[in-house]
Amino acid sequence: MDYQSQISIEIIPLQSVQFTDKMKYVYKQLFKKLYKWCQNTSMGYEKRVHHDLLVPKELYKETYQRLKNKYATDLVRNWTEKTDPVKFVFEDIAIASWLISLWELERIEQKSSKLQSFIDLGCGNGLLTFLLSSEGYTGFGVDLRKRKIWDKFIEKGANLIEEAIQPNSITYPSTDWIIGNHADELVPWIPIIASKSSSFTKLMVIPCCFYSLSGSKYTFPNQVITSGKYKAYQEYIQDIINKCGFITEIDWLRIPSTKNVVLVGRKRRVFDSKDQIDQLILDAGSIIIRK
């Protein structure tokens, strides 16, 4: 049996307010949204991704609003890179907000007041490192090439290091979290570095460009990739995380990018992963790191 429904919206302005063009615009957009949601529901639409799996939405939004009000205007106004400041500033504020919220929840769970330490590998423009440092977290960013804007961040207390690291041998034993925000060639290595660093070191990576452990472009399997290359690459990184002894957790960030998946390793499996890690390093062969 077919059912028909009807949606009606009534706007009742305050007595002292006239019905303006702006109100009319909001009215039309609201009606379109309601109609779309009803249509999608009747057709059995289901969301492909679910946000807020690791961080509650309200906590994230509160942190994001605070950081945006505190840093955004000055960062956009004084941006010295050739890249679009609006995109990078607000995206990294969103990532920092998510991380800070996750770490706040971790401290509550551990009944600790001590802020986490971090290392931002392949830190790029250094903005994420600057934001975390400005919020009181101890850590530094590392990248193969210094960016122009680093000087401004360093003046304000950020620790940014221009260095070519050897991912197959380097460790950070006193660090709580190793993070990779679109860290290109270093993304596959971060689970290995975190696992070798200490039993308490955790990781967070946002996969972006498709690189393998050798530093070359990742070669996708011959079989048809029905879910898309990004999903296939995400599964490749997940496999490395699992082999390094971590339990992989996934969330979808609220950033204006299609590559918004964040992979987290903060819980360990109960087995010795050393042999698997050694095999991963052996299989990588010679390493080319351009980041």
Average pLDDT, integer, range 106-115:
98
| pLDDT number for residue 223 | 64
Residues 80 and 224 in one domain: yes
Tell me, yes or no, whether 291 lies in a domain: no
Residues 102 and 26 in one domain: no
Q: How far apart are the first and last CA of the chain?
A: 60
pLDDT digits (tens, 9 = 90+) for 242-284: 999 999 999 999 998 888 999 999 999 876 778 889 999 888 8
Residues 41 and 62 in one domain: no
Backbone phi, psi, residue 106, to 5°: -65, -45
Confidence of residue 1 (pLDDT cuts 50, 70, 90): very low
- pLDDT higher than 60, residue 2: no
Tell me, yes or no, whether 77 lies in a domain: yes
* CB within 8 Å of 272: residues ≥ 6 apart: 245
| pLDDT number for residue 184 | 93
Residues 12 and 128 in one domain: no
| pLDDT number for residue 144 | 95
Residues 127 and 234 in one domain: yes
Residues 6 and 124 in one domain: no
Query: Encoding tokens for residue 277?
Result: 């890690």
Overall number of domains in the chain: 2
Residue span of the structural domain in which 29 resides: 1-46
Residues 238 and 175 in one domain: yes
- pLDDT higher than 70, residue 289: no
pLDDT digits (tens, 9 = 90+) for 179-234: 999 999 999 999 999 999 999 999 999 999 999 999 999 988 876 567 788 999 99
Residues 179 and 69 in one domain: yes
Average pLDDT, integer, range 88-102:
97
Residues 34 and 146 in one domain: no
| pLDDT number for residue 49 | 64
Tell me, yes or no, whether 289 lies in a domain: no
Tell me, yes or no, whether 132 lies in a domain: yes
Structure pTM?
0.83
Chain position carrying tokens 């996750």:
102
Percent of the chain with pLDDT over 70: 88
Of 20-34, 157-171, 191-205, the range with the lowest mean pLDDT is: 20-34
Query: Encoding tokens for residue 25?
Result: 């615009």
